[in-house]
Structure 1
Amino acid sequence: MKKLSLICFLSIISLLANAQTKSQAQLFWDNLKALCGKSFEGKMLDSTMVRDFAGKRLVMHVRACDDGTIRVPFFVGDNKSRTWVFTLKNDRITLKHDHRHEDGSEEKQTQYGGTAPNAGFANLQMFPADAQTASVIPSAATNLWWVTLNKEKFSYNLRRIGSGRDINVIFDLTKTVESPGAPWGWKD
């Protein structure tokens, strides 16, 4: 009986130690991954950049999750061209923007984004524009994206440093909505 109690005690200590050693990036990742399969409606708080979002239904669908990649299509009305692609590698999260035409082919301006310079926080990750972004969209070389995540809200934000142009979209995580279907280039 003592041996069984000791084994149980050591197992609990091991679980607690593992929980305490998770990095902030891993905690953020786990929280985002917990939303997999769910869709949420959002609203534009402020946008000086994207006029075509005005008056349209905004929905994010945490659609595909595996150990290293989480794909989140972002629907703007009937436009299904945008997918946020998060990857986790070496305790750093990368955010890329996958843009597709209706036939599934890549748009000219796609695969741009950046990698968090550090582990960030469990509820906030920041992504400064990388060299690929500067080559694909030279005016976006000063972009800074950040995503916040807690039990009630997910926010996607963009500020183009020095331009006064920004985007702020907040999604309500307290209620799910029906997914608008597969994004362009995907199959259900």
Structure 2
Amino acid sequence: MKTLLPLLLLMVSLNGSAQEPDPGLKFWNSLQDHCGKSYEGTVAEAPENDDFRGKKLVMHVRSCEENVIRIPFFVGEDRSRTWVLTRVGDRIQLKHDHRHKDGSEDEVTMYGGMTSNPGLANLQVFPADQETAALIPQAASNIWWISLDDNLFTYNLRRLGTDREFRVEFDLTRPVETPPAPWGAEE
């Protein structure tokens, strides 16, 4: 058995190198294909009293730099939210940038997390990071994930240990008119 172990490890290593390169990069490139486009969304899952229900939801893949993608997420007339995705090696970080109408940072902003592995080409998972736990203690068990395919972009939240779940879905087959800039961004 001892002589088989190095052979098995070599086979696994060779097999791993033959797989598709960096699924996180494929996800990233697929998302960048939507740069400049906007999409209307719907609440697919949320608590009954959630403020997002019944409001127009729009995401705008507004800014695509080499390692940073900014996606403002508008809820009705509220333009305070931007999802900020940053590539760090083969990982992706998700942060939630919250602003006031005057552009100043909200007291609760830049929370989120980093993928713990390269993920899948159509799915990236972001467990809450230490910064989030310090800023919003009840969100320490948050897990966000984004799924992306040719037809649908979903943003999801699950707070472990609670019944808190949230999901919005955006139809990528039907771009909509580009909204104004989010609060705090230049037009």
Q: Distance in 1 between matches of 2:48 and 2:66?
A: 33
| 1:30 aligns to 2:29 (yes or no) | yes
Which aligned pairs between 1:111-126 and structure 2 lie closer than 5 A?
A: 111-126=110-125
Aligned to 1:139: 138
Distance 1:183 1:38, change over 3 A: same
Which aligned pairs between 1:1-188 and structure 2 lie closer than 5 A?
A: 22-48=21-47, 51-188=50-187
Q: Distance in 1 between matches of 2:104 and 2:110?
A: 13
User: Secondary structure, in 3 states, of the residue corresponding to 2:157?
Assistant: strand
Counterpart code for 2:168: V
Q: Is the 8 A contact 1:83 1:98 kept in 2?
A: yes
Moved over 2 A (4+): none
Counterpart code for 2:47: T
Q: Distance in 2 between matches of 1:84 and 1:138?
A: 20
Q: Is the 8 A contact 1:48 1:166 kept in 2?
A: yes
Q: Distance in 1 between matches of 2:60 and 2:128?
A: 24
Unaligned residue ranges in structure 1 (runs of 5+): 1-19
- Alpha-carbon displacement from aligned partner over 1:60-80 (angstroms, at most 9, x marks no partner): 000000100000000000000
Q: Distance in 1 between matches of 2:143 and 2:94?
A: 11
CA RMSD of aligned residues (A): 1.2
User: Secondary structure, in 3 states, of the residue corresponding to 1:30?
Assistant: helix
Q: Distance in 2 between matches of 1:113 and 1:77?
A: 23
Give the C-alpha shift of residue 54 in structure 1: 1.2
Deviates more, 1:93-102 or 1:47-56: 47-56
Q: Distance in 2 between matches of 1:43 and 1:149?
A: 15
Q: Distance in 1 between matches of 2:21 and 2:176?
A: 31
Identity %: 54
Give the C-alpha shift of residue 179 in structure 1: 1.8
User: Secondary structure, in 3 states, of the residue corresponding to 1:176?
Assistant: strand
Q: Distance in 2 between matches of 1:152 and 1:47?
A: 21
Unaligned residue ranges in structure 2 (runs of 5+): 1-18
Q: TM-score, normalised by structure 1?
A: 0.88
